[in-house]
Chain A
């Protein structure tokens, strides 16, 4: 294995690593030890304390600095004579175009989100550079190899998209703690501290919108000279009391549901006790606003404790007060951030009070933070193993050793005695809209939807394009870029607001749109089909994209499994993976162990939502097959999910 010839190939290779996080640190170290001498590394992130338990190239003193740069310095200490080029930048930036990618022999991904993965996949396809993709969560991990024309691309298999919830589940009928978290974070927190110009569904209740409070908007404004304590109680009573009373008025909603209980602050915390609530002067002596904490001022220490309703109430009121007293300048432009202690505190407390109202079990700050921040499980060991496997595949790629490429799954419970399970890669999916340019179909109401809806919901969200250009025949409908004339920009802006059928070059049923991303050098066609009505619950976008491999249907669509719970790793059938460095999709494989059928690692597979921290228990329609090879060993084959029922395709 370690022949001279192999070492030469490694020494002369130029590799690009995308991501210097959990997998990235391990990968950079292993590449350097293995003899790689020209490594480029892109990462836009800076170092945080919670990285230090696994991103071993970083120390406490590096917190706040560029991951790519610090990682480089750390590795040069034990391999001073190699070249490492760091980029503290977003891989989606314009400088990383197809020409940039073309200079590399192989690209290695250690990313943490679907969006960037898809972007890199397209650039690798356009530049014809092999890609080794990876991901880990807890003790689970996977490495896959994507070589244009030889193996499937990253997007040949549908990727689970972030879970979203019907608006009324969040605003009116929560049944799980995660619904309360989404409400507290995306609605209440945004309403209180976020950009006031943004739309917000906080006051939307079931279907009786019209009958509810006429002055709902004003309710959140702090009146001139209003005492901050009084303001806090008024907000509290409005969202946990009054709004619930209002919702209760709609009998239809509660026919088959438990009726929530309105909660008013004076019932939980009598006015005269209010001033036992914390001492503002104690905390944050040096004015560092990131240290402001309601827990600290109330003397609550353990983030693992589940607070009582009284404690949640106190935290809520105290945190609200602290925002106004200590961080007034932030108000109006805050976005929830899991590393903002005070934000996590108020979201935890608000979610718990709402949960109490709806009879949903309360959760600790630690758990709530995990859900709200979509925090993924992460340990050093899995990242180290996955990084090792990436290097092994990268070396095969450099040798063009096509027949030996493998996707490898690192599992928690062994299947067929295997903890590390190699599987042969699949051929490219001929119906893949990314690498096979198969046209897509979009059902949309062309006399109601605007071009903006297509750009935002389909082209950016679903197709993952960064700098899109939309054409109808030879007519340009939309384009973005730095080099546009002002007139053009204004023109495109105007188009965005137009209904499809009323565009200069009208888009109606039967129209074929060409959508292109110049940076990704990726083009696809969309056949437009007019449709009048859409189901608000099931098709919240008001349109339906199809024509490529559909994401597999979720068995229980309304039963998302919470991420970030300790029990998940052993959860079984509808298990649950959620994702650290990535979203990860493990196959469900049946294997025959000593005659007993057993499900591989209890993992079916899963998906993570970048937005809500929720995992879908979908996605594992892959069926394995076993083939005996001449060595009496068994190779486990996993058939492509929707690729075509039982046809097994192997790379030759």
Chain B
């Protein structure tokens, strides 16, 4: 590693976490640059976590204006009109996040995520997208994958009391510690496109039902030309119809996607704050792992449902899947 030392200020501030991940990891964190898009509750939780951890910089994207709705699971926005009037979500969040850790550069990037060229992404070590369409997820993931340097890519979504994280670290090498030995470990991640293209009938029987349910809703939004999250309980009949079609097409027994689960995901349009904290926490941890090269990263989906309380990792679309 390089020989740069942490400053006294950094050592004092980060003392407790350096005891968890070490000085090298802290140094790598301080040189990393993170891009997030879609400032909803879960992403806000994530931003708080990595600003506290001490990344080098954090760039926020979300040009939507602040509304009553956006306050619901967001602790960065005071419900005072003159604080957020005329400002975008990203701008209001930026002001508040800066305050959390003066050593992290927090800024806003305006514009539409999918309109940027590939080289825009070169600045970043990790890109996290939320509240975006299936097409945008695919597009950004592909742009990141085409760059020379490895850019970690994540998607995160919360609906009702459920959450999903997708991770693409491309070709990732890290030091895995087991007992007293350290083994060099290599992981090959599939792209988002590759992962969701896996035929459902070939997936393990006990795969998280949330995986299928999220894909059905995503496909529905795509087919209808809706924005991410722009669905409601009124869409249920048509979504159930789409589920049936997809299951037939993919040769999957319909019982793997309970109607009640889809109904829950449609009713609960607002994020459930405890779930935001949990998903934002897991995502924060994963980004820290990927940047520091310490700890086993999750591959490649994570699901949490507050109803059963399980936080499950699924590996979907890897070359070895189905073995």
Q: Do A and B come from one complex?
A: yes
Q: Judging by beta carbons under 8 Å apart, are A33 and B280 in contact?
A: no
**B contacts, CB < 8 Å to A:** 5, 8, 11-23, 41, 45, 48-49, 52-54, 71-79, 99-102, 160-161, 177-180, 205-206, 264, 268, 270, 272-278, 280-282, 284-285, 288, 295-296, 298, 302, 304, 306-314
CB contacts (< 8 Å) of A49 on chain B: these are 12-13
In the complex the two chains form, is A54's CB within 8 Å of B17's CB? Answer: yes
User: When the two chains form their complex, are residues B310 and A377 in contact, meaning their CB atoms are under 8 A apart?
Assistant: no
User: B277 near A32 (CB under 8 angstroms)?
Assistant: no
Cβ of A334 < 8 Å from any Cβ of B?
A: no
Most buried by B among A33, A59, A301: A33
Given contacts A50-B12, A392-B274, whether A570 and B178 have CB atoms under 8 Å apart is yes
Return the 7 tightest CB-CB contacts between A and B, nearest first: A420-B311, A388-B277, A422-B309, A33-B273, A385-B281, A570-B177, A388-B278
Check A50 against B16 for contact (C-beta < 8 Å).
Answer: yes
- Which chain B positions have C-beta within 8 A of A420? 278, 282, 304, 309-311
Verify B20–A384 contact, CB threshold 8 A: no
Chain B residues near A444 (CB-CB < 8 A)? none
Binds B, one of A264-272, A406-414, A450-458: A406-414
Contact, CB under 8 Å: A385 / B278: yes
Cα distance, A353 to B262, chains bound together (Å): 66
Chain A residues with CB under 8 Å of B307's CB are 1
Q: In the complex where A377-B16, A380-B49, A417-B312 touch, is A139 in contact with B285 (Cβ < 8 A)?
A: yes
Closest to A26 in B: B277
The answer to whether A384 touches B177, judged by C-beta atoms less than 8 angstroms apart, is no
Q: How far is the CA of A86 from the CA of B45 in the complex (A)?
A: 24
User: Is there a chain B Cβ closer than 8 Å to A566's Cβ?
Assistant: yes
Also in contact, A384 and B309, with CB within 8 A (given A2-B268, A632-B206): no
What's the minimum C-beta distance from B270 to chain A, rounded to whole angstroms?
Answer: 7
| In the assembled complex, A77 has its CB within 8 A of some CB on chain B | yes
Contacting B at CB under 8 A, from A372-414, are: 375-385, 387-389, 391-392, 395, 406, 408, 410, 412-414
Are A2 and B161 in contact, with the CB atoms below 8 A? yes
In the assembled complex, how far is the CB of residue A310 from the closest CB belonging to chain B, in whole angstroms?
22
CB pair B280–A384 under 8 Å, yes or no, is: yes
Q: A304-B23, A384-B277 are in contact. Are A417 and B313 (CB under 8 A)?
A: yes
Q: How far is the CA of A570 from the CA of B20 in the complex (A)?
A: 10
Nearest CB in chain B to that of A81: its residue: B79
Cβ contact of B49, chosen from A302, A381, A391, A572, cutoff 8 A: A381
Task: Decide if B306 touches A392 in the complex (CB within 8 Å).
Answer: yes
Complex Cα–Cα for A26 and B12 (A): 21
A sample of 14 cross-chain residue pairs with beta-carbon separation below 8 angstroms, ordered by A number, consists of: A53-B15, A53-B16, A53-B54, A54-B52, A56-B100, A59-B99, A78-B76, A302-B5, A380-B17, A384-B284, A414-B298, A418-B311, A418-B312, A632-B206
Q: Please tell me which one of the listed residues A78, A379, A395, A417 contacts residue B20 in the complex, with CB atoms under 8 A apart.
A: A379
- Greatest chain B CB density within 10 A among A304, A380, A381, A566 is at A381
**In whole angstroms, how far apart are the Cα atoms of A392 and B314 in the complex?**
23
| Most B CB within 10 A of own CB, among A413, A414, A419, A421 | A419
In this complex, what residue of B is CB-closest to A571? B179
A380 to B287, CA, bound (A): 13
Minimum distance in angstroms from B310 CB to a CB of chain A: 6
Task: Tell me if B11 and A139 are in contact (CB < 8 A).
Answer: no
Q: Is the CB of B272 within 8 A of A1?
A: yes
Known contacts A33-B73, A378-B16; 17 further A-B pairs (Cβ under 8 A):
A1-B161, A2-B272, A33-B74, A50-B15, A53-B16, A78-B75, A139-B295, A301-B8, A380-B49, A385-B278, A385-B281, A387-B274, A391-B274, A417-B314, A420-B311, A570-B177, A632-B205
Q: A284 contacts which chain B residues (CB < 8 A)?
A: none
Partner of B274, one of A54, A382, A389: A389
Nearest to B99 among chain A residues (CB) is A59
For residues 13 through 37 of chain A, which have their beta carbon under 8 Å from a beta carbon of chain B?
Answer: 26, 29-30, 32-34
Q: Which residues of B contact A302 (CB under 8 A)?
A: 5
In the complex, the answer to whether B13 meets A53 with C-beta atoms within 8 Å is yes
Neighbouring A residues of B13 by C-beta, 8 Å: 49-50, 52-53
With an 8 A cutoff between CB atoms, is A567 at the interface?
yes
CB nearest neighbor in B for A141: B281
User: How far is A304 from B1 in the complex, measured between Cα atoms in Å?
Assistant: 15
Cβ-defined contact, B274 with A388, below 8 A: yes
Q: With the chains together, A420 CA to B160 CA distance in Å?
A: 18
Instruction: State the CA gap A244–B307 with chains docked (Å).
Output: 63
Q: Which A residues lie within 8 Å of B76 (CB)? A: 78
Does A303 lie within 8 Å of B274, measured CB to CB?
A: no
Hey, which chain A residues are within 8 Å of B48, CB to CB?
Answer: 56, 380, 384
Question: How far apart are B45's CB and chain A's nearest CB, in angstroms?
Answer: 6
Q: Is the CB of B77 within 8 A of A78?
A: yes
Contact across chains for A370 and B19 when beta carbons are under 8 A apart: yes
Question: Complex formed: what's the CA distance from A60 to B314 in Å?
Answer: 41
CB distance from A561 to the nearest CB of B (A): 13
Contact with B along A142-184 (1 / 0, CB 8 A): 0000000000000000000000000000000000000000000
Asked if A573 is at the interface of the complex by the 8 Å CB criterion, the answer is yes
A270-311 CB contacts (< 8 Å) to partner B: 301-304
Q: Which of A50, A408, A417 has the most CB of B within 10 A?
A: A417
A28 to chain B, nearest CB (A): 10
Q: Are B314 and A381 touching (Cβ within 8 A)?
A: no
Given A54, A79, A418, A633, which contacts B16 in the complex, CB threshold below 8 Å? A54
How far does the alpha carbon of A241 sit from the alpha carbon of B314 in the complex, in Å?
61
Query: Which residues does chain A contribute within 8 Å of B160, judged by CB atoms?
Result: 1-2
Task: Tell me if B282 and A385 are in contact (CB < 8 A).
Answer: yes
Contact call B20/A633, Cβ cutoff below 8 A = no
- Chain A residues 334 to 385 lying within 8 A of chain B, measured CB to CB, are 366, 370, 375-385
- Check A580 for interface membership: any CB of B closer than 8 A: yes
Contact assessment for B75 and A414 in the assembled complex, using a CB-CB cutoff below 8 Å: no
Known A418-B312, A420-B309, A632-B206; contact A572-B285, beta-carbon cutoff 8 A: no
Residues of A within 8 A of B288 (CB): 379, 381
What's the least CB distance linking A389 to chain B, in Å? 7
Interface string of A537-569 (1 = CB under 8 A from B): 000000000000000000000000000101101
B275 contacts A32, C-beta separation under 8 Å = no
A553 to B299, CA, bound (A): 38
CA distance A185 to B73 in the complex (A): 47
Closest-CB distance, A114 to chain B (whole angstroms) = 20
How many Å from the CB of B24 to the closest CB on chain A? 10
B49:A34 contact, CB within 8 angstroms: no
| Contact partners of B270 in chain A: CB under 8 A | 2
Interface pair A30/B285, CB less than 8 Å apart: no
B179 to chain A: closest residue by CB: A572
> Is there an interface contact between A392 and B309, defined as CB atoms closer than 8 Å?
yes
Q: Say yes or no: A80 contacts B281, CB within 8 Å.
A: no
Q: Does A138 contact B (CB under 8 A)?
A: yes
Interface residues of A in 45-93 (CB under 8 A from B): 49-50, 52-54, 56, 59-60, 75, 77-80
Please give, as numbers and ranges, the residues of chain A lying within 8 Å of B284 by CB-CB distance: 380-381, 384
Give A338 to B298 CA distance when docked, in angstroms: 36
Find chain B residues with CB under 8 A from A422 CB. 308-310
**Are B309 and A580 in contact, with the CB atoms below 8 A?**
no
Nearest CB on A from B317, distance (A): 16
Min CB–CB distance B254 → chain A (angstroms): 15
The CA-CA distance from A580 to B54 in the complex, in Å, is: 19
From B284, which residue of chain A is reached at the shortest CB distance? A381
